[in-house]
Amino acid sequence: MSDAQNPYIVGEAALSTPEPRSDQNHNSPYGAYRDISKWEKLAKLGVGLDICLAGMSLLCYLAAIIAEYTGKSETLYWDVNGDETLFLQAWNLLDTPGSYLYFISLVFYLIWVNQSMKNTWALSTDNTNKISPGWAVGYYFIPIVCLWRPYQAMKWQWLESSPPETSSTLVKSWWSLSVFGAFSGMIANFMLLADSVDYIPAYIASSIDDTGIIACSLLQLLLIKKITLRQTLQAQGQEKLVLNC
């Protein structure tokens, strides 16, 4: 069987500019389906940066824990002249510059959320959920509400991008790790800022936080990829391929 005859191979040509389906929601206030592959790539690039930053931070904390346990923390941070070691300089770079990179990755991700939600409205025949693209982004910044509404928005995108999909295990796992990371990060920062001579518990808490960030980001990458691909296939009328990707 050739690639052209294989229904499970989706080439670049098939994913380029899909013809709109006859049953698309043409009454969507956000317009018809649009190609968001460029935002998908930028969002995945941003999440990839988060993984790299969290990975480097995790390595630094693990090295610091070992140094504290072995009593070699001074030599890890300071050289014989009393200057910062390369290790400490690299660790400090993860602070302010790392925050700037995280902000950039967040912007890319939220743009993808907005554009993907517009496609959800365009492809869905049931908009009773009524989560607008704007609020799908805005909910991330509202205290208390941010603990569940972004999850509901992502769950709706996931289910509507792959009917008759009924399982949202991937979304639940991603959001559980997101909430865990938010609270573990606050605890770790509180412990680091506390006036204590023993930094090991704070370093351990920060290591757990970084591990959670990495796991959450990997699931986030998978969600971005799958939702974008499924929406593209659905827009092409290739629903039979949706649940296979």
Q: Encode pLDDT of 164-190 as tens digits.
A: 666 789 999 999 999 999 999 999 888
Amino acid 24: pLDDT: 54
- Residues 180 and 166: their CA atoms lie apart, in Å, by 25
Q: Give the single-character DSSP code of 78.
A: B
In this predicted structure, the answer to whether residue 86 has a pLDDT above a threshold of 60 is yes
The token pair at 13 is 């040509």
Amino acid 239: pLDDT: 57
- Residues 155 and 33: their CA atoms lie apart, in Å, by 19
pLDDT tens, position by position, 210-222: 999 999 999 999 9
Across 16-30, 106-120, 152-166, 190-204, least confident range? 16-30
Q: Say which residue, 239 or 175, is predicted with more confidence.
A: 175
In this predicted structure, the answer to whether residue 194 has a pLDDT above a threshold of 80 is no
Q: Say which residue, 168 or 150, is predicted with more confidence.
A: 150
In this predicted structure, the answer to whether residue 129 has a pLDDT above a threshold of 90 is no
In this predicted structure, the answer to whether residue 1 has a pLDDT above a threshold of 70 is no
pLDDT tens, position by position, 10-58: 444 344 444 544 445 556 788 888 999 999 999 999 999 999 999 999 9
Max alpha carbon distance in the chain (Å)? 73
The token pair at 239 is 């629903």
Amino acid 144: pLDDT: 92
Q: Say which residue, 165 or 114, is predicted with more confidence.
A: 114
Q: Exposed, middle or buried, 213 (CB in 10 Å: 0-12/13-18/19+)? A: buried
In this predicted structure, the answer to whether residue 193 has a pLDDT above a threshold of 60 is yes
Amino acid 243: pLDDT: 54
In this predicted structure, the answer to whether residue 3 has a pLDDT above a threshold of 60 is no
In this predicted structure, the answer to whether residue 111 has a pLDDT above a threshold of 60 is yes
Q: Give the single-character DSSP code of 24.
A: S
As a whole number, the mean pLDDT across the chain is 82
Residue position matching structure tokens 């690639």: 3
Q: Single out the residue of 45, 55, 52, 44 nearest to residue 210, CA to CA.
A: 55
Return all residues near 63 (Cβ < 8 A) that are at least 6 apart.
76, 87
- Residues 239 and 235: their CA atoms lie apart, in Å, by 9
In this predicted structure, the answer to whether residue 204 has a pLDDT above a threshold of 70 is yes
Amino acid 186: pLDDT: 92
Q: What's the average model confidence in pLDDT over 126-143?
A: 86
